[in-house]
Amino acid sequence: MRLVLLVARREYLTVLRSKGFLFATFGVPLMALLLVTVVFGAIDGGGSASYTPPGDTGYVDLAGVISQPEPFRPFEADSLARAAWEEGQLDSWFLIPADYLDSGSVTLYTRLADSEALEDSMAAFLRENLALQADSRLPPARLAQPVELRVRASGMDLGASDAGGVFMVQFLYALAFFVAMQTTSGYLIASLVEEKGSRVLEILITSISPWQLMLGKILGPACIGLTQLAVWLAAALAARAPGPDLPVNVAFELPPDILLITCVYFLLSYFLNATIFVSIGSISDSEQESRQLAGGLTLVTVVPFIAYAVLLGDPHGTVSVALTLFPLTAPLTAIIRMGMAALPAWQLALSLTLLALSLVAAVPLAARLFRWSTLLYGVRPTPRRLWRLLRHPAQGGRGA
Amino acid sequence: MSSAEAAIVARDISKSYGRTRAVDGLDFRVERGEVFALLGPNGSGKTTTIRMILDILRPDSGSIAVLGQAAGASIARRIGYLPEERGLYRNAPVLEVMAYLGQLKGMDARAARSRSLALLERLDLDAHAGSKVRELSKGMQQKVQFAVTVLHEPELIIVDEPFSGLDPVNTQVLETLLREMRARGVAIVMSTHQMHQVEAMADRLLMISEGRQKLYGPVADIRRQFASHALLVEGGGDWSRLAGVRAVEAGDRPGEALLQLEPESSPDSVLAAIAAAGDMHIRRFELATPGLSEIFIRVVEGE
C-alpha cells in the first residue's frame, strides 16, 4: 500500500503544480459564476414579459396580495385548489401563505415536467400585483424577489427541492465533471504516454507491480478530483448570495440528499472514467490517438445534456431510464431527473449499483491491459490481440 | 556452492509468446561478486530472460531462483535494473526523479535524497541535481540512469548496454564503479553488444541465439575453446621455414605474425624449433585465440 500511495502522491503533486490544474480548478468557479450571472441576469431583464402561464393554473392567496387574478384561477382555500388539481381540472396551483410578505415563500404544486416557464409567469404575476398594492407593509426586497419558490410535483420521489438550486447542481455538475474529466484524461494519458515512451515504465515495474502502479495512477488523479470538488463546493457555498436581483431566488439551498448523491455519483464515475482512461492510454500508440479515444468517452458522458430536451419531455420514458442505468451517462441523467423530481428510488439504487459494478469490473480489466502494455512495447494492439489477451492473459510475474 | 548462495540459478527455463518460443531451456547460474555477460543477437531472447530474472514474466517451464528466493518472493528491492533505453521522467528535476525511484525501491525519503546527492557528486553531476532531466546531455542522462540503478545498494544489478552514449572518460568512471561493486560481492549481469567491454570486465558469459543456449562458461575458457591451431609470435625471422608451420599470416601489429600450424604439430614443437634456429628470435608469443566479436559471429552464423 505504501508504494501505491507513493505513486498516487507523485501523480497528485505533479498535477497540483501544473498550470492546467490551477486554471481548471479556480477558473471554472469564476466562469460558472459569470455564466450564472449572465443567464439569470437575462431572465431578470425579461421580467416585464407576458406572464401567461403554461396550462391551467390556480392559486390560493392567504396573504391578500392579489388584486388582479388574471390569467390564474383564484381559489378560496387550499383544499379546494388541491381537489381541483387532483381531479385534473388544473395542471398546477400555488399557495401564497399568510406570511408571504415577510418570507416570500410560495409553494407550487405541478405535474408539469418543466415548471420553469410557469415559475417565470408566477414571478411576473406577483410582481405586478405587488406593485399595484403600494402597500406600506411591503418589504422593498419583495418587489425585487417576489418568489422564494418551493416546488411540489406529482409523482415526486425525492421530496421538495429548490428548483433554481437543483438546476444549478445540474449545470455545475456537468461543467465540473467535464472539466475534471478533461483534466484527468489529459494528465493520465500524458503521464502514461510519457512513461511508455521514455521507458520509465520499464523501471517502475521492477519496483512495483503493474496492479499497484495502476492503482496509484488512478488514486492520484482521483485525489485531484476530490480537491477540485472541494474547491468548487467551497466556491458554491461562498456564492450563496447571488449578485443580481433575480426573479426567482436561485441561491444554493441544495437539499442534502441531492448533494450527497451528486458527490457519490461524481466519485464513482470519476474512478470509472479514470480506469477507462488508463485502459485507453495502455492500448494507444500515441498521445494523439489516446486523446481522440478519451474525447469520445467524454462525449458519451455528456450525452444527457445533449439529450436534455428528451429528458425534460419524457422524464420517465425509455430513453431517460436507459440513460440513467447506463453507467457512463448515469450521473448526469440521474441529477437532471432528480431536478425534475422524476427519479424513482429503485432506479437511483439500481443506477448506483450498476455504476459501482462497472467500476469493479473495469479495474481488473484495465490492470490486465496496463500490464500487457508494460510488457509489449511497440506491439500494435489489434482488436484480435486484445480479445485474446482478455480471454487468455499471458502468464506473468508480480501483479499478473 | 548452494543455490541460496548464488545470485541467480536458472534451471531449464522456457518461455513462449503464442507459437513463438522466445527462450528454450536455458540453464545457468550467476554467482555473487562476478560480472556475468548475457550475450546474443537482437531477438535472441535476452530481454525475455532478463524479465524472467526480474520476475516480470514467469517461465512456462523450469525454475528460476534469484538471490536465493523463488519467483514470487519480494526481491525487487534487492535488484537494480538499467534498461537499454533510458527510463527517466524528462520534465522532472534530476534529484526528484532519483529520490522517487529510490523510495519505490524501499528507501525512506531522506536516505534516498542523501544517497542520490552522494552518487551525483561521485559522477560529477552534483551541479545538475536541480536541472530537469531533459536539460542533460545523453551521456549525463545515462549516468543518472546508472545512479538510479545502484541507488538502493542492490545485491544484484542487471545492466543493459550500460556504456551506451558515454565518452571514454565516463566509461571508465562507470567501469570503476562496477568493479567496486563486484569487489563488494554484488552480482552484475551485463547485456551488451560491445564485446571489448565483455572481454575487459566479464568473468563468465552466456550466449544465446534463437532462445537457446550456445555458449556458457568463463570468458577465458570460451576463448580458448575457440582457439585456432595457431601461434601468435612477435620477433624476427623467416617463419615459413619452420617445421610444422603450414602458413604464415601478418599479425595486427608490426612485427607480429600468425603461424598456422600443421595438424600433427604442436605449439611446443614449433617454439622448440624457433629456439633451435640460429636466425630467428621471439620477444613475445601466445596461443592465437579469437576475440569475442569473432566468436559471436561464428556462433550466430553457424546457426
Per cent of chain B over pLDDT 90 is 44
Facing residue for B58 by CB, picked from A14, A204, A395: A395
User: What pLDDT does residue A155 have?
Assistant: 35
A300-328: b or e for each residue (b if 16 or more CB lie within 10 Å)?
ebbebbebeeebbeebeeeebbebbbbbb
Residue in chain B closest to A396 (alpha carbons) equals: B57
pTM of the predicted protein model: 0.70
Task: List pLDDT tens digits, range A203-258.
Answer: 888 888 878 888 888 888 778 877 877 887 777 677 654 444 443 344 445 567 77
A398 chain-B contacts, CB cut-off 8 A: 55-56, 72, 76
Question: Could you say which DSSP state residue A25 is in?
Answer: I
Residue in chain B closest to A194 (alpha carbons) equals: B89
Task: List pLDDT tens digits, range B139-192.
Answer: 899 999 999 999 999 999 999 988 888 888 889 999 999 999 999 999 999 998
Residue spans of chain B under pLDDT 70:
1-4, 71-73, 303
Indicate if the alpha-carbon torsion angle A54, A57, A59, A65 is positive or negative: positive
B54 chain-A contacts, CB cut-off 8 A: 206, 397
Cβ separation A203–B101 shorter than 8 A: yes
B45: left (phi over 0), alpha (psi -120 to 50) or beta: left
With an 8 Å Cβ cutoff, the interface of chain A facing chain B consists of 3, 6-7, 10, 14, 194-195, 198-208, 374-375, 394-398, 400
Residues 6 or more apart from A176 whose CB is under 8 A from it?
A28, A228, A229, A232, A266
Cβ separation B56–A208 shorter than 8 A: no
Residue in chain A closest to B48 (alpha carbons) equals: A375
Compute the 3-state secondary structure of chain B and give helix, strand, coil in percent, each to the nearest 5. 35, 30, 35
Q: How many CB pairs under 8 A join A and B?
A: 75
User: What pLDDT does residue B268 have?
Assistant: 87
Task: List pLDDT tens digits, range B253-283.
Answer: 888 888 888 888 888 888 888 888 888 888 8
B191 chain-A contacts, CB cut-off 8 A: none
Cβ separation A206–B103 shorter than 8 A: no
B199: left (phi over 0), alpha (psi -120 to 50) or beta: alpha
